[in-house]
Amino acid sequence: MSGFIDLLSSFLMVLGLFFAFASVVGLIRFPDVYTRVHAGTKALSGGAMLILIGVAIRAPSWQGAVKSVLIALFFLATNPLASHAISRACYRHGIAPHGTVLDEYGEAMEDRP
């Protein structure tokens, strides 16, 4: 049983590490700020969730497990808000999306006085 738990938490942590790595690669390779925010939000929060769940499974005491679950919850609550604030501020400062095929936000902004 203990071997299985170790295996499961190692698997989750390695998978989370892979996603964190992929999100960093995405941050470097994606063309503009909005797509980079995509990489920084989704891939990173998924990776962090997996790592934190792995830590929670393996934690030696219940305090450690509860704390890593709390960190995961705060992560989920704050990460989308931060990405929304970043991308909105960028748009309002006139950074145009790269290679866009459709931009209904710009049209809606122009309609306003």
What residues make contact with other proteins under the rule CB under 8 A? 18-19, 22-23, 25-26, 29-31, 34-35, 37-39, 41-43, 45-47, 49-50, 61-63, 66-67, 70, 76-77, 79-81, 83-84, 87-88, 91, 97-106, 108
**Beta carbon nearer to other proteins, 5 or 98:** 98
Rounded to a whole number of angstroms, the minimum distance from the CB of residue 101 to other proteins is 5
Angstrom distance (rounded) from CA 90 to CA 33: 8
Cβ proximity to other proteins, 4 vs 62, nearer residue: 62
Residues 6+ apart with CB under 8 A from 12: 50, 51, 53, 54, 57
Q: Which residue, 69, 78, 68, is CA-closest to 45?
A: 78
CB 104 to other proteins: min, Å: 4
